[in-house]
Amino acid sequence: MFSHRLTLAALVLVPAVAPAQQPADPAKLAAIAPAMQAFVDSGNLAGVATVVGRKDGVLSHEAVGSRDLAAKDPMKKDTLFRIASMTKPVTAIGIMILADEGKLSPDDDVAKHLPEFTNQMIRGSDTVKVGDPVEKATTTFKKPARPVKLRDLLTHTGGLSEYPPGVNDVYSKRNRTLAETALASALQPLRFEPGSQWSYSNPGIDTLGRVIEVVSGQSYEDFLKKRVFDPLGMTDTTFYPTPEQMKRLATTYDRKKDGPLTPAGLSLIGLPANPKHPIPAGGLVSSGADYARLCRMMLNKGELDGKRILSEKAVAEMIRTQTGDIKTGFVDGMSFGYGWAVVKEPKGVTAAVSPGTFGHGGAFGTQAWVDPKQDLFVILLIQRTGLPNADGSAFRQKLQELAVAAVKP
């Protein structure tokens, strides 16, 4: 009897041992490089860099093809890429750092921090009779049911209009400050009731960059450098590449139908000599190794190598569906958290990943997706314009399938 009691005590006091994580299959990881090389050989891409990893480190880091076709310069692991809208989650991280510090809340009205957003109106239309039977469409304005909140900007449900003429060239010239672009957005009428629809919004994310400046008392880019990039050791992530970094920047290519790849230049999101603002919606240059550290921080619930960037609560809020049943995203089955797109129902290009996988793509075909349930992240870095849908690309789907196959039991 005594022996039986001792055994029960031992069962209570000794913690259960979690099952060992399934090791990644080296042979399946080795299939990534030739699969990406096939896209290069087909003429679709000049070069590709990929990173696959888990919260405790990188499992695979590959580079195939060319960084610059004319220079015959091969793609390398330290090649830099314009990651475009993969900047958006980084801006959201900045907002959530300030939320952790109690300096703002996603539920705040934007006008609390940027008074120029007070008393915005919604643009509508109506038809009035100007004769019989002549009718004329007229523009109307009404007050929204509630003001735009920070959470609306974080989820692309704010209804902000696009930049007006004279400001919409800011992405190629960066000839306005963030204060000026935010004012331009505030002076435009809303397109719909805040929180009622999803519409991808660069002005909304740029406005969050201005909020970071006002609330932190620092420039947007300095704040992110000090609070995100430096602590995470992301030394090649910047809005303003140095001359040395520019030499490692991958050339962006376009392709017309089945023709050859041709250089696309630095259009759309340029890198002029003296920009007045850094484009919170899409201005970052980064590398595979750097963005992998950001993904690992998110997988580790806000911390990496003893450096805490976000609270666990903030991470949880960022990566859960915040948009309810509103249809969002550029592929089926998606929802949105704060700054991150969230897979609600895996299908099509997302079929291999788990519900709750979060990530973001960029205008030049770059992609980064994090699957907490499988402890996995995948990063695809290319520089292509003219893709029908970068989020739905065959490149992304193939990489995800191979990565998931390598870590599944």
Could you give the strand order of the β-sheet that contains 334-336, starting from the edge strand earlier in sequence? 73-74, 57-68, 47-54, 376-381, 367-371, 358-361, 341-343, 334-336
Q: What is residue 137's predicted lDDT score, i.e. its pLDDT?
A: 65
CA distances for 209 relative to 53, 67, 100, angstroms: 29, 31, 17
User: Please, which pLDDT band fits residue 125 given cuts at 50, 70 and 90?
Assistant: low
Pull the structure tokens for residue 152. 């609306």
Angle, helix 202-216 to helix 88-100, in steps of 10 degrees: 30
Please state which of the ranges 102-111, 143-152, 262-271 shows the lowest mean pLDDT.
262-271
User: Please, which pLDDT band fits residue 165 given cuts at 50, 70 and 90?
Assistant: confident
Q: What is residue 20's predicted lDDT score, i.e. its pLDDT?
A: 59
Q: 281-312: per-residue pLDDT in tens?
A: 999 999 999 999 999 999 999 999 999 999 99
Number of separate helices (H) and strands (E) present in the chain? 15, 16
Q: Which string of DSSP letters, residue by residue, matches 70-105?
A: TTTEEP-TT-BEEEEGGGHHHHHHHHHHHHHTTS--
Mean pLDDT of 312-326: 98
Angle, helix 178-186 to helix 202-216, in steps of 10 degrees: 120
Q: 232-289: per-residue pLDDT in tens?
A: 999 999 999 998 999 999 999 999 988 999 999 765 455 666 677 889 999 999 999 9
Q: Does residue 70 have a pLDDT over 60? A: yes
Q: Does residue 130 have a pLDDT over 80? A: no
What residues are paired with 141 via a beta bridge?
Answer: 123
Q: What is residue 1's predicted lDDT score, i.e. its pLDDT?
A: 37
Q: What is the DSSP letter of 335?
A: E
Could you count the other beta carbons within 10 Å of the beta carbon of residue 256?
Answer: 9
Mean pLDDT of all residues belonging to the chain: 91
Q: Is the pTM of this model over 0.75?
A: yes
CATH class as words, domain 23-97+219-407: alpha beta
Asked whether 88 and 338 are in contact (CB, 8 A), the reply is no
Q: 334-381: per-residue pLDDT in tens?
A: 999 999 999 999 999 999 999 999 999 999 999 999 999 999 999 999
Torsion of CA 256, 259, 265, 267, to 10 degrees: 10
Q: What is residue 15's predicted lDDT score, i.e. its pLDDT?
A: 42
Work out the percent of the chain whose per-residue pLDDT is above 90. 81
Please state which of the ranges 20-34, 149-163, 281-295 shows the lowest mean pLDDT.
20-34
Outline which parts of the chain fall under CATH 3.40.710.10: 23-97+219-407
Q: 392-409: per-residue pLDDT in tens?
A: 999 999 999 999 999 997
